[in-house]
A and B are shown apart, each in its own frame.
Chain A
Amino acid sequence: DTGVSQNPRHKITKRGQNVTFRCDPISEHNRLYWYRQTLGQGPEFLTYFQNEAQLEKSRLLSDRFSAERPKGSFSTLEIQRTEQGDSAMYLCASSLHGLAGSDTQYFGPGTRLTVL
């Protein structure tokens, strides 16, 4: 257990529905990242935050995807109007950035999304 938690662990939804995932990072970590992983592939970067500021977004993050980290602690990832191609494992990671940090990204267990 890395200390990064994600909820729910599994989500099954019908195409067209909206889903929201939550990530709770390691408490002192100021950076939080979202990745997506499909079967047999490595994780692909989606976006990351430093505190509450979203510093980078991948071109994979379409307009249907939105991520927030309103208080600089937990984060949510929402997918609107889900499509079957959104089926994947959504991974959250956190790191401590700065003079006292190593920037090592520690991952949570992921949320597996299945879109029917």
Chain B
Amino acid sequence: GESVGLHLPTLSVQEGDNSIINCAYSNSASDYFIWYKQESGKGPQFIIDIRSNMDKRQGQRVTVLLNKTVKHLSLQIAATQPGDSAVYFCAETPRQAGTALIFGKGTTLSVSS
């Protein structure tokens, strides 16, 4: 089916470590992918996106990698901080960007200092 899944429901890291959050998607027709961060009681916050014609994109302390061969998406957070603690969702658009997003279940990142 058309769904976005995550490999691990939880991830615990120490402050200063690099974090890698993984996501597998099933629809090879998807052409737009986004990572969101959601803190308790708040709406999802945009982190970074990538289109299917790219395999890597970097932002501030974050990098998204897209492997279309194995339909895998990852979010790398450098020098993880306690403020990075949240639930992280990957989302995909099976059609053109700007239409419905399909979200996975999320990975809860806990950063201890």
Contact = CB atoms under 8 A, between A and B. Distances in A.
Contacts, number: 61
A13 interface: no
B43 A91 contact: yes
Given A56-B99, A56-B100, A95-B98, A104 B105 contact: no
Contact of B43 (A42, A104, A110): A110
B8 interface: no
A42 B100 contact: no
Q: Interface residues of B toward A: which range?
A: 20 to 34
B98 A42 contact: no
B101 A105 contact: yes
A91 B44 contact: yes
Contacts of A48: 99-100
Interface of B: 4, 32, 34, 36, 41-46, 49, 89, 91, 97-106
